[in-house]
Amino acid sequence: MRGQIGSQRAGWLFVAPAVAIIGVFFFVPVLAAFVLSLTDFDIYSLADLHNLRFVGLRNYVDLLVNPLFWQAVGNTLYFVGLGVPLSIAASLGAALLLDSRLVRFKPFFRTALFAPVVTTLVAVAVIWRYLLHARYGLINYALGEIGIGPIDWLGDPHWAMPAIVIFAVWKNFGYNMIIFVAGLQTIPQDLYEAARIDGASALRRFWHVTLPGLGPVILLVSLLTIAGYLQLFAEPYVMTQGGPGQATVSVLYFMYEQGFKWWNLGVASAVAFLLFVLMLGVTVLQLAIGRRGGGP
């Protein structure tokens, strides 16, 4: 009896600090953000709170007819649509190679391929800005050697987002690679043996054994990656500052400018919530597709 009560009290005491911190510094602000998104908090309100007005859903309505907001949504979806499949393909390819029994120095390769993941985003974005330089960049130099004319990667509105995608794939593929390697190890070897005995080619084995075996992992990985890529911010902040011509303004970059450049905190909070809705929508969609694909 006494142990029971002790455990009760101890339990709450143990979780209280963490729960309090998360409650006060995360849940309260999230609720406050919703309230804020229903107001016109701007620099006038910053000067004097009496200048704050409740505006209902006007921020949301204004955003939904604002072409710049839609461009930011479009840019972000473009980044996700191009970046997520490429990232996952690169991760899967690297994982398949690493998983092969023929590999020598496996720990070295694993560390090398994973290294970009732990690097500081801002620092490597700075590096890539030089690599992508139209005139002095190594990438254009290498392309020039194989006869491809110089591309103004970060200066041309059509190339800026693809350039950021290439960078993001390089930076992130190692993360999912590790998850895929673990996933590959859960596929029973006898399935491969059986396929081999049936005379299935390597490609067919990949298609009929590996991919179905990895199904749930691929779903999980794509969920995580989409959620992460929807939060694109530091890359355009460092590499292009949203340009050229708004071509790399993402939803979060838009929020940052609204919030901390123009100080339209009401609008910025509404942007944050719309991003949340977007993320939730993509997740639900993805889960629905996964359920149908994996269903009986």
User: Residue 289 interacts with other proteins (CB under 8 A)?
Assistant: no
The stretch among 47-55, 77-85, 191-199, 287-295 that binds other proteins (CB under 8 A) is 47-55
Among 220, 282, 286, 290, binds other proteins (CB under 8 A): 220
Q: What is the three-class DSSP state of 173? A: helix
250: which 2 tokens?
Answer: 């993402």
- To which residue do tokens 């590096």 refer? 127
Half-sphere exposure of 112 (CA within 13 A, CB side): 7
- To which residue do tokens 């989409």 refer? 226
User: Residue 150 interacts with other proteins (CB under 8 A)?
Assistant: no
User: Residue 54 interacts with other proteins (CB under 8 A)?
Assistant: no
User: Residue 119 interacts with other proteins (CB under 8 A)?
Assistant: yes
User: Residue 64 interacts with other proteins (CB under 8 A)?
Assistant: no
Q: How far is the CB of 292 from other proteins (least distance, A)?
A: 20
User: Residue 175 interacts with other proteins (CB under 8 A)?
Assistant: yes
Instruction: Decide whether 27 or 70 has the Cβ nearer to other proteins.
Output: 27
User: Residue 179 interacts with other proteins (CB under 8 A)?
Assistant: yes
User: Residue 207 interacts with other proteins (CB under 8 A)?
Assistant: no
The residues, ordered by sequence, that sit 6+ positions from 70 with a Cβ below 8 Å of its Cβ are none
Residue 263: closest CA among 22, 51, 70, 75: 51
Per-residue burial over 1-26, b if 16 or more Cβ lie within 10 Å, else e, is eeeeeeeeeeeeeeeeeeeeeeeeee
Size of the site for other proteins (CB under 8 A): 110
The stretch among 77-85, 203-211, 248-256, 287-295 that binds other proteins (CB under 8 A) is 248-256
User: Residue 205 interacts with other proteins (CB under 8 A)?
Assistant: no
User: Residue 178 interacts with other proteins (CB under 8 A)?
Assistant: yes
Among 243, 282, 286, 290, binds other proteins (CB under 8 A): 243
Beta-ladder partners of 39: 54
Residues in the chain: 296
What stretches of the chain show up as alpha helix (H) in DSSP? 2-22, 28-37, 43-47, 58-64, 67-99, 106-118, 121-131, 138-145, 157-185, 189-197, 202-205, 211-230, 234-239, 251-256, 265-294
User: Residue 53 interacts with other proteins (CB under 8 A)?
Assistant: yes
288: which 2 tokens?
Answer: 């629905």
Among 33, 143, 191, 200, binds other proteins (CB under 8 A): 33
Q: How far is the CB of 295 from other proteins (least distance, A)?
A: 20
